[in-house]
Chains A and B, each alone.
Chain A
Amino acid sequence: MGVGIGCGGWSGGVREQTNKTIHGVSCLCTLQGTVFPLHIKFPLRRIFPCPSIVFLFKKFVTLPRTTSNPFINLVLMPTKRLIGLFAVGAATFAVVAIAGLVVSTMGTFLVNGVPHLSWQFLSEAPRNNNTEGGIFPAIYGTTLLVLVMSILGVPIGTITAVYLNEYTRAGAVLPRVIRFAVNTLAGVPSIVFGLFGLGFFVQFLGGGMDKVLGNTEAVWSQPALLWAAATLAALTLPVVIVSVEEALKTVPREMRESSLALGATRWQTIWKIVLPNSTTGILTGSILAIGRSAGEVAPILFTGVVYSLPQLPDGISSQFMHLGYHLFVLSTQSPDVDKTLPLQYATTLVLLLLTFTLNFAATFIRSRLRSKQIR
């Protein structure tokens, strides 16, 4: 399924070759969107469907002729074989496409972005209408956003997952409602999250806070880092919940029972046995989910990000700059787009490095966990 989406995204991306940067980013976003949700559920080697190709091939193409029934031999088998060949072909295409994408886009950004990376670029603010200078405020804003989002999203996601996985019985109404809500949430386009964030967090919550606190001018009822982080946390929630649940499920039933048999309450068992034994999985899943949304622009568009800032945000009620949005600004809003091309490449590279660092951190923790389990 992910493979199909990958192909779709790829061919969609090809048509859009007018702006190379945007094309590349959209491809990579598609790639991330395709790969990482899978990544959370399956081991890394499953991302690239090589084993599945072999499996498909075995399943459909090399069928033995074991019957004399003409319908099976003349209709069913050839049809199956055709489907099989098609599946194998599609899967192979997807592998080649994904591999090609990774190599070509990463290559492009490395070749064009690295020369422009410098200490000044990383540590200075943009100058001259974003055509010169660095991107430090955007790095700062993105990092802060990711931090606040994690602080908001991971605990809520973990608590929800613990509730769903440990406290509810299959078939009960409330967990089913929650699951339905979570699944629905996962399917909502991210721009809708942005609008939701504006309506709910900025206007409703923020407006309410200003009223309660008696602020005469808008303090909380305007787009801010806090609201952008909250919106992103909401966007990330379904993925966090699913991956934490997966982590909780790796704790064997016997271990829980041993704890309960010793007279531990359910909560003591969760706190002392289940959570400590799934910390690594919870961390991995959360980091992947966070890495996935660190580059999201749509949800923060109405809730806190700005075009440029005179100074760094001085708190969570300030607005902020963001790498992804900055890239968009550079490549579409600049008076001279060609002049900013090196800036675009370098910015993209920094954004990718940031998200990839998160992903690699998760993979690293996961492999550590694996080797521990084997012992």
Chain B
Amino acid sequence: MGKKPLETKIQATDLSVYYGAKQALHRISLDLYEQEVTAFIGPSGCGKSTFLRSINRMNDLVPTARITGHLGIDGVNIYDSSVDVVELRKRVGMVFQKSTPFPKSIYDNIAFGPRLNGITERKELDRIVEESLINSALFDEVKDRLDASAMGLSGGQQQRLCIARAIAVNPSILLMDEPCSALDPISTAKIEELILELKKLYTIVIVTHNMQQAARVSEYTAFFYMGHLVEYGKTRKIFTNPSKKETEDYVTGRFG
């Protein structure tokens, strides 16, 4: 890799997030690159999810949340009043820690997003469902039971279904908040493999507590601590030769 020129996809400048009086993020500035995997690491409560949820404006749902600074995607400030949140979220997919298939069939889960976009033609939906399942490495396991309930899938399959559901609306960014923390090692390995495939198509941001996972899947890593961005750079550098003491302590497992 490293042949294509780096392009900034997401740009945060002095981004602060408050929950009521409590400040959860302190003037974060960082650039996330197109079609790369960036890992967010740091101890619980340091603001990783908060940052992630700022990228698709999920924090709008928290009544007490307030945001200052600039967060641009493709050069457009997404907190500008002219930005349509619904459209934004179609371009920024999200996969949650807890897999949340809808209690519908596998097919209907994946077709949910496309249907929201007004796609009703069965052929077109079939194509999207199949493509999303293939791209999320789930197709072979479920191709004979697309009409079965998604609740009957295993945990790992459910999480891949959520990925399929997210990519079915054709986003350009994929946010993943600890997508493997509830999964067994084999399912985790499958998802990691999948992430490496998906980065060819999407800009991926993944929150993880698993250092090995961050090292395996990401090209860049950001280390957060108590609402501050402590260090950001190439994953290899963060893990082998960090410039900050806190980073070193964290990645070597001395705290966190």
Contact = CB atoms under 8 A, between A and B. Distances in A.
Nearest to A258: B100
Contacts of A54: none
Nearest to A171: B63
A277 B90 CA distance: 23
Interface in B77-113: 86-87, 89-90, 93-94, 96, 98, 100, 102-103, 112-113
Contacts of B166: 261-262
B100 A262 contact: no
Given A272-B112, A277-B103, A170 B63 contact: yes
Interface of A: 169-170, 252, 254-255, 257-265, 268, 272-273, 277, 375
Given A263-B87, A263-B116, A268-B116, A258 B96 contact: yes
11 contacts: A255-B102, A260-B61, A261-B56, A261-B93, A261-B94, A262-B112, A262-B116, A262-B166, A263-B113, A263-B116, A272-B112
Interface residues of B, number: 24
B116 A273 contact: no
Interface in B98-140: 98, 100, 102-103, 112-113, 116-117
B102 A264 contact: no
A258 B94 CA distance: 8
Nearest to A273: B102
A268 B98 CA distance: 22
Nearest to A169: B63
A375 B153 CA distance: 11
A227 B102 CA distance: 41
A263 B172 CA distance: 13
A254 B98 CA distance: 8
Contact of A257 (B96, B103, B117): B96
A168 to B, nearest CB: 10
Interface of B: 56, 58, 61, 63, 86-87, 89-90, 93-94, 96, 98, 100, 102-103, 112-113, 116-117, 151, 162, 165-166, 169
Given A254-B100, A259-B112, A262-B169, 16 more contacts: A170-B63, A254-B98, A255-B100, A257-B61, A257-B100, A259-B102, A260-B58, A261-B93, A262-B93, A262-B113, A263-B86, A263-B90, A263-B113, A263-B169, A273-B102, A277-B102
Closest 10 CB pairs of A and B: A263-B90, A261-B94, A262-B113, A258-B100, A254-B100, A263-B89, A169-B63, A255-B100, A263-B86, A264-B116
A252 B117 CA distance: 24
Contacts of B94: 258, 261
Contacts of A258: 94, 96, 100, 102, 162, 165
Contacts of A263: 86-87, 89-90, 113, 116-117, 169
Contacts of B100: 252, 254-255, 257-258
B166 to A, nearest CB: 7
B202 to A, nearest CB: 15
Contacts of B89: 260-263
A206 B121 CA distance: 49
Given A252-B100, A258-B162, A262-B90, A375 B151 contact: yes
Nearest to B91: A263
Contacts of A262: 89-90, 93, 112-113, 116, 165-166, 169
Contacts of A272: 112
Contacts of B117: 263
Contacts of A273: 102
A262 B108 CA distance: 13
A373 to B, nearest CB: 9
A343 to B, nearest CB: 49
B68 to A, nearest CB: 21
A254 B113 contact: no
A96 B162 CA distance: 52
A103 to B, nearest CB: 40
Candidate in A169, A257, A259, A262 with the most chain B CB atoms within 10 angstroms: A262
Nearest to A272: B112
B154 to A, nearest CB: 14
B155 to A, nearest CB: 14
Contacts of A375: 151
A276 to B, nearest CB: 8
Contacts of B169: 262-263
A127 B193 CA distance: 82
